[in-house]
Amino acid sequence: MSWRRCPRCGNSLQGDARFCPKDGSPLVEMSGPPASAGTGASRGVAEAAQTTVRKAVTPSAGRAIDPAATLSSQVLDTRYSVLRKLGEGGMSYVYEAREVNSGESVAIKVLSPKLGRDTSSVERLRREAGLAMRLDHPNVCRILRLGETEDGLIYLVMPYLRGELLSDREVKRGPMGPDGGVDILTQVCAGLHHAHQLHIVHRDLKPENVMLEPQPDGTDRAVVMDFGLAKENRSASGLAKLTATGIILGTPEFMSPEQIRGKDLDARSDVYALGIMGFEMFTGKLPFQGRNAQEMMIARLRGQPTPLRQLRPELSPKLEKALAKAMESEPANRYATAREFGLALVETLDPPPSRIRALLG
């Protein structure tokens, strides 16, 4: 799990928060925990030569060791040579690895064993794999394989994307221009429309879930990742069990009003989240203000987003109108599909580039 620091007050926080709960300033990504020597992830590919077949780790007395957290320099399931840890979250660890037989670089998400004993968590991971294996689009990260080791570690295998997260791009370069921002947003619209046509709603769109992969022509391919919260938009008793507790899943800063209220979601909820992402890409700020995530959620339920050109007057009225419609509080007033939103974004450019328009068919 990443660490972020507030440049104004110096407060350090661990997790996915993007704004300081004390003063609302945008948080800056840190390379590691405060006052820490780091994790040694920079050892990189050199570790591959020292890999060993992974065996179950026996914890020392009085100390529990999560075997899913210590896979670097080992061989997972006799198939994947694990190079380094890329990140971790509340229920999984992500590694860069190399497939032993083909030499192909992959990313592997390993479920923590303590959650692997939770049948609902396992069901959710299997559902993620089952949904994402159906996705086949250049702007969506697909799942290659769902596996389980002899000692019970459950893992997902995905292509390893070489690039930078959209969230990191925002921190490094600041607010984007209309051409670059619309290009990225339109690609995300294309990937989401593909998923929505398969009745899959992402539910957790945010800059940390979009990878920008450099292309030979100098452009970036935007890839939507982590369909871990994705939900098939059809009634199914198995899916109902996963949300029967009433827990609202997602990232507070980007949730639609209906998601905050725990209502049924469809493609228009992803359109709303993408509208907020777009606003942040162009301004460096969120369209709803609050001292913390809870206040910003209340603002989305009761207030109106800040007009785009209030912060960036040089941007076009067409772009302001397109983002405002995507962020309408009532789903019926938004774009009905991600493709429709993408086409509206293309029309904000003068002239609209044919390459970008072609992404939406």
The residue type found at 111 is: L
**Across the strands, what pairs with 19?**
26
Residues 6 or more apart whose CB falls under 8 angstroms from that of 82 comprise 51, 54, 71, 72, 73, 74, 75, 76, 95, 96, 97, 108
In this structure, are strands 52-53 and 74-76 parallel, antiparallel, or unpaired? parallel
Beta-strand ranges (E) seen in the chain are 3-5, 12-14, 28-29, 52-53, 74-76, 80-88, 92-99, 105-111, 145-148, 154-159, 164-165, 200-201, 210-214, 220-224, 231-232
Sheet holding 3-5, edge to edge: 12-14, 3-5, 28-29
What residues act catalytically? 204
Torsion over CA: 14, 15, 20, 22 (sign): negative
